[in-house]
Structure 1
Amino acid sequence: MTQPDPSLSPLATVSARIAPANGLDILSRQEVARLRDASSGGLHKLLRSCALAVLTQGLVTDDPRAATELYADFEIEVLQQDRGVGLELTHAPAHAFVDGKMIRGINELLFAVVRDIVYVATQVEGGAFELTTSEGITHAVFDILRNARVLRPGVDPSLVVCWGGHSISRYEYDYTKYVGYQLGLRYLDICTGCGPGAMKGPMKGATIAHAKQRRKKNQYIGITEPGIIAAESPNPIVNNLIIMPDIEKRLEAFVRTGHAIIVFPGGVGTAEEILYLLGILLHPENANIPYPLIFTGPSESAAYFEQIDRFLRLALGDDVARHYQIIVDDPTRVAREVVKGIERVRQFRLDNRDAFFFNWAINIDEALQHPFKPTHEAMAALNLHRDQPQHEFAADLRRAFSGIVAGNVKIEGMRAIEQHGPFLIRGDDQIMQALDDLLASFVAQQRMKLPGGSTYVPCYRVIRD
């Protein structure tokens, strides 16, 4: 009788020494020491958690602690060798290997983790940039992306950022693939948050279309950050993984590198992304900068976008709708509108001598760039009233959603909720009622957590003034 392959067991492990498939710059002895150091000043804990997220591709869970608990004996050690960097893995998930060799795509993403952790620690956190100014933060974002070699000079605009939830229905997931397919047929590249659901579907569809068009130099960029990657492991199609140091730099990276943005159905993380971008587009200094933004989903999701549209109009005024299109159940039209929008972007960049690969011209208010730490005190102190400029109100609404994301899927946020109870979100009576209704609909539609898990317990409580 044929015996099952032990490597197919979800908890089977192997130990191996691996070298980078694509090569990796050598590290200094000090950098290697920090990657090995498990103390508060070391990087080992961060390296281990991010590496395990890459190695557990396909583990379907919302809890960033799940992989760590399943593979409690996993260990990783960085080796400085004569020919470059190597990794010593102990008790690593076996499904990351085939016949004793690590799958090449996982290998590439694993060494991308090492690359970004080292660069952020030595350059960004090491004082190479002036992170107290808007210009300094933007240059840090640029340098992280440049170091990851995802900025391509001399190439026409083609990068479409796709946002949407990891917890979506099957018909919504299939729709994201259809849209990705239409984008791929038009020679467009895809950038997402790198996880499952709406972050995977467009890449999967585009992969088939690119193969049909015989397009070989394709970008499937996944941009994440340490607090998210453990809950949303990179999907296997990602061929350029970038780990930004925090959510604000991650969001800025999307906006600076993308030439158009498509939003699929999602939950609080998607709402946070929408409000972040609208906080930028509503700023008076960005009034004339073209930035295609399309909300789309299958016919079954029409009510979702109607509710999002109502909330945005109520909170930010009806004129906010001029910054986005809503297209329901029409992947071909979505792709055509994206192509037309990107052509406007291309002409604007030419006219203003701005780079195709990085949007220097768009103004991102400094308040949107500094990391927001969603403590109970910070959440309660948010100014959620309409007696302020539109872009500033959008920024504070975005912080409210950011806090809920943290309470749902980030380790520190989950621990804070467990210790101190739900975040209190207080603001304008009418806005808070609409916010409460919106969040309740996310819960009812299972957009807060992956279906099939434990019953969702809200990490927030909305209070109306």
Structure 2
Amino acid sequence: MTLARVDAEVAPIGTLEALSRAEAAMLLDRGHGGLHGLFRDCALAVLNCGNETDDGKELLDRYADFDIRLIPRERGIKLDIRNAPASAFVDGRMIVGIQEHLFAVLRDVVYLGEEIRNAVRFDEATSEGTTDIVFHLLRNAGILKPTLHPKLVVCWGGHSIGRDEYEYTKHVGYQLGLRGLDICTGCGPGAMKGPMKGAAIAHAKQRFDGRYLGLTEPGIIAAEAPNPIVNELVIFPDIEKRLEAFVRVGHGFIVFPGGVGTAEEILYLLGILLHPDNADLPFPLIFTGPASAEAYFRQIDAFIGAILGVEAQRRYKIIVDDPERVARELKTGIQAVREFRKDKHDAYNFNWSLKIDHDFQQPFQPTHANMRALDLHRDQPPHRLAAQLRRAFSGLVAGNVKADGIREIERHGVFEIRGDADIMATMDTLLKSFAAQRRMKLSGKAYTPCYRII
């Protein structure tokens, strides 16, 4: 089947209306050091909004003839787009929300190339330097609003969820929105879209100007295109900085049912909260879903208890089938966050007090060698074991949906994951349950594992 395609010239909306000659040259450069390839792939993902696919390689292959070229002009810029998905246009004009997302991508790719990669002031080899990069990317995107009181709820969960779970995320988002809370997600479909959709209705009823913040990164954006409700979009260079941005800007956290990506987020967050320096930090965290998801959360809770212990289980509440209670608990928890930040003279818009070990910040490349070398053994503190487990699940996300990870599996076979026998057995049980519940992929095909537990 031939997919409908559109050619167009598009002007910016609201962001990055002019570029320097050096920035334009980087975007036009199709060589190894240029930004054209990165910008092209992220732009295609944004233009694919609404078309269900969670296979980054499949999307890039399907639109291999897609191209986007900068048209430099003295009075501003335009983008020349060739063979774009027709779904991004109405009567020949690009949908405004998608156009905003496209230029948010341009803004962040340019800033990453010009200000971050080439700046000697950012030392990514240190924890502080990495946090500075996250801060500057958020500030450049206009996300850090110093006058707003804490009210941003980060919602995590799967892109491949059942209809009842999706409807539940909307109900929770609605209850949050009625209480004046804003939503931040990974910006894709499923549990990333539902809370925003519910909150948008509630905000309209309450006459609030809602914020729907989406945080993503180049490796995942093709598999999880920003949903059209997102009105603030930021692209981070890697998953580690994206995850740090979530925990720095969020004031309360909800985890809906999901798969390996959600497990990665849970392990990241619990690993940070288990650090001794964060023991007294208020951090509202709720796992929730409809009644049909109760068994799923029992599995997650058992996995956490078996591997990270009771202390990790104390850092969250599980609330099943009660959206109103979830919203009330978050509202109360966020008030405690506000009082704590006020007492500590910490910013409301960026959690500087949170201690994040460099283990959680270093980019992990999911190669076969790196996956085999993971230290999945108990002879280490729980927060360090969580960091290693987080990398294991990050590798599985790459093997499932990221173009580079899928190619790695095609070339060298499945990833091998090794560690202590009890850890491996517990992990294997969890992963098999995800596959049985169809939490691994959107497609109706039977899931083919990208890993082998040893």
TM-score, structure 2 as length reference: 0.98
Q: Is the 8 A contact 2:240 2:363 kept in 1?
A: yes
1:373-388 equivalences under 5 Å are 373-388=365-380
C-alpha deviation, 1:383, in angstroms: 1.1
> In the alignment, does 2:163 pair up with 1:170?
yes
Task: In structure 2, list runs of 5 or more residues that go unmatched.
Answer: none
Of 258, 263, 271, the match for 1:279: 271
Q: Is the Cα contact below 8 Å between 2:167 and 2:194 reproduced in 1? A: yes
- What is the aligned counterpart of 1:414 among 399, 406, 417? 406
Pairwise CA distance, 1:286: 0.6
3-state DSSP of counterpart to 1:65: helix
- Residue identity opposite 1:321 in structure 2: Q
Contact 2:57 2:402 (C-alpha < 8 Å) held by counterparts = no
- Within the candidate set 202, 214, 221, 2:195 is matched to 202
SS at match of 1:345: helix
> Is the contact between residue 24 and residue 84 of structure 1 (CA under 8 Å) also seen in structure 2?
no
C-alpha separation between the residues in 1 aligned to 2:66 and 2:152?
A: 36
Tell me if 1:462 matches 2:415.
Answer: no
1:192 to 181, 185, 189: 185
Distance in structure 2 (CA, Å) of the matches to 1:100 and 1:436? 49
User: 2-side partners of 1:363 and 1:412: how far apart?
Assistant: 31
Alpha-carbon separation, structure 1, partners of 2:43 and 2:13: 16
1:123 Cα offset (Å): 1.5
Residue equivalent to 1:322: 314
Q: Does 1:347 align with 2:339?
A: yes
Contact 1:16–1:88 under 8 Å retained in 2: yes
Q: Which runs of 5+ in 1 are unaligned?
A: 1-8
Which is worse superposed, 126-135 or 258-267?
Answer: 126-135
2:229 equivalent in structure 1: 237
Q: Summarize the Cα distance change of 1:10–1:313 in structure 2 as closer, same or farther, 3 Å threshold.
A: farther
Do 1:10 and 1:95's aligned partners in 2 also have CA atoms closer than 8 Å? no
Measure how far apart 1:311 and its partner are: 0.6
How far does the alpha carbon of each residue in 1:39-90 deviate from its partner, in whole angstroms, 9 at most, with x for none? 1111111111110111111111121123323323221111222332211112
Assess if the C-alpha contact under 8 Å between 1:123 and 1:129 holds in 2. no
RMSD value, Cα: 1.2
Q: SS of 2:354's equivalent?
A: coil
Question: In the aligned structure 1, how far is the partner of 2:400 from the partner of 2:63?
Answer: 22
2:105 matches 1:106: no
Distance 2:59 2:396 in 1: 22
Whole-Å separation in 1 of the counterparts to 2:15 and 2:437? 44
Count of residues in correspondence between the two structures:
453
Mapping for residues 17-416 of structure 1, pairs under 5 Å: 17-127=9-119, 128-216=121-209, 218-416=210-408
- Rate the CA distance shift 1:227–1:20 in 2: closer, same or farther, 3 A: same
| TM-score under structure 1 length normalisation | 0.96
- What is the deviation of 1:408? 0.6
- Given residue 455 of structure 1, which amino acid in structure 2 is its aligned partner? A
Match of 1:5 in 2: none
Corresponding residue for residue 432 of structure 1: 424
Determine helix, strand or coil for the equivalent of 2:418: strand
Mapped partners of 1:301, 1:414: distance in 2: 29
The residue aligned with 1:4 is: none
